[in-house]
Structure 1
Amino acid sequence: MKSPRMLRLSLATTLSVALMATLMPLAPASATPSIAAPSEISTQALSVDSAVHIAARKIQRDPSRTDVFVNKSYPLSPKKYAPKTVAVPGTNVRLKSSASSAYTTMVKAAAKDGVKIRAVSGYRSYARQAELYNYYTRIYGQSYASKISAVPGTSEHQTGLAIDVGNNNSACGLQACFADTPVGRWVAKNAHKYGFILRYPKGQESITGYSYEPWHFRYLGTSLAKSYKNSGAKTLEAYYGVAGSKSTTPPSKSAKGTAKTSANLNMRSGAGTGNRILLTIPNGKTVKLTGSKNSGWYQVQYSSKTGWVSGKYLKNISMPSNTSKDTPKKDDSKTIKAKSAKTTENLNMRSGNGTNHRIILTIPKGKKVSVTGSKKSGWYPVKYAGKNGWASGKYLR
């Protein structure tokens, strides 16, 4: 997919400059890459895993097609597919010819409205994506890296049909604030007229698997892009029907302690994609809920097996009458006894309890932090390097 973004970290200026260098598209083959190519790509770091695997029946998988669908669960085939690309006029960004022509037409239309669009990044090869993904994994850990960068072989940029855009003056480059700039507003409103769609919208992170990217646009061709726009779908996943939205059906219409799968869904040995797959529950099957819930995952019983499934792919959820749908409130309000903890990954300290809050700094893996108060919605108030903020309890021990 995905262009790594400029993250708001209170790091030294030198690191910020280095990060910006990695965000730029790969220079021509004769140039020296900004990141040294790894001698070996870690199998663990590049494993493509998802809570759901859906059989593709009506989805275009041919990577040479303009309407090819690719995301975390639908990798390119072959994974190292390399399209024929051309340089976007006046830039070192490369795209497939059809996408480049459409982009050039869009830029000219925007210029007539007084808006100057800048091409930031386009085609990236499998090898280049591997460099970037592994770089962010080393810096932030695999969990966070996977929200801001695609595993090689699953990136829209590898198709030559995705482009990251920005302001001519580089204001808010690859940042969420780009959406409120002249270019950001113009492309959000008009891109579909030229065959492009905003691929990773705000509020759809649980569906796309990536953080909000108001600068990332995917070329589908004018006919499909307009159809997508007119459909009212918020994501390409929703448009193709590969990701069900949360059910609005009142729980009372379902038997107590049951739910239905909205996709072919993996049952795992624990709450999280890092746990072993026990079996795959077919789409539309009813599962029995045990009443246990953890971080958006539900413990269920199906086909004589008991395990955990992601709540993103359950509908008509009706918890057992003797349990609560959420973790008991006393768990969040309880004052913890521990006065310190250690990080299990490179962990962002934020200004509030949630990923929507500003990043203050990144605490390296294995560092000790002081816990200064009570847990709130799975987050702990902590102190590290003289700074106070909040850290996710998932990465503390």
Structure 2
Amino acid sequence: MFQVLNEAEVQENPALLSAAWNSGSSFILLPTPSPVTEEWLSKALALIPAEFAQGHFGILTSGSTGTPKLVIGSKSRTTLLARQIHARQELESVETAIVTLPLSYSYSLVNQWVWAHLHDRRIVQTRGLADPATLLTTFEEAKSSMLCMVGSMLPVLRRYVAAGRTFPEVIRLNFAGGPFPQAEMEWLHQVFPNARVYHNYGCTEALPRLTIRRADESPDAMVLGAPVEGAEFDVDEEGMLLFRSPYAASLVLDVEKATRIALSDWVPTGDRAEFLPNGRVRLLGRKSEVFKRHGEKISLSSLGETIQSIWNKGLAFYTETAADGETGHVLVLAPDADQASARTILLHLRQKYRRPFWPIRIENAETIPLSGNGKPDLAALKQQPRTLLWKQIL
């Protein structure tokens, strides 16, 4: 019923994706390598109602749970969203979309591939940070280009951009898929002097956009922009952010069940949030990144933003049960952090936060491994060697 494409095939032959999108039939785009087995995929596909065999597409995601799921959306509704993105990001002058993230990531697929396909613009697929030299050359050579990145890519990118090197042909720079890199704005304006920077927010179930704002509209990385036309937000009694959108996915599947999403349904984003007096939404962090320690609500996203104002390399957090029986967080820095770096960060945190907000440990790693969508891969991080720089005495 669904044609199955994998990313490696599309990389080798881009016409496959164009043909699948233009066809009336539905298709699924899987990452390469795929995190699911053929058996898992067969069971999930068997749950899709027959009415979705036409005019739809699917992508694989793990969301905030780590459990694989297929998200099925409407081609026509996603086309309307791509037109919204075009208007809100003022993309008429953009000639080229440079793809730095996998196309199986909804952010790249919609904001770049669908947009370029719809508006007849050039799309350049790259190996991203796996081949930084070629990537930077592409930044220089591709005319009037747009990038879609995640903030966790910037510490790695910094290592390869020589002082004084700039990329004036990049005129749109989009961030999504994680905390907005507010602390990097000065550097970004230096390196991409002609780029208009946008803070985007959404989730895979939104396919994928819910809000868009220019970066210079707010100095607070956690404040979202105005919703795309027709999208709405609500916050439930547990502080979880919900949305409904006319462009959202129609169906979400795992190997056990298929869940329909009606246009009137409120859908969880996986984030905690609050409404501001002006009606805008301020994020507090992912559900897994917000917890209480000694009665204080800890937001790892907010802490990360604070630390990045003085540490412009890689960082990540993971949580564990501390010796006092409460949940605590471990801060991992990369690369080349030492005890002096840890002391500087601790002094900065102590000036801004009480003791429950401090990490229970600070560690150094050679790298912060990233998942296919550019977010820190915590499972891989915990498996690699790390050096202890500081430990809180409880």
TM-score, normalization: structure 1?
Answer: 0.31
The structure whose residues are more often helix, as a share, is 2
| Greater gyration radius | 1
TM-score normalised by length of structure 2:
0.31
Higher percent of residues as strand: 2
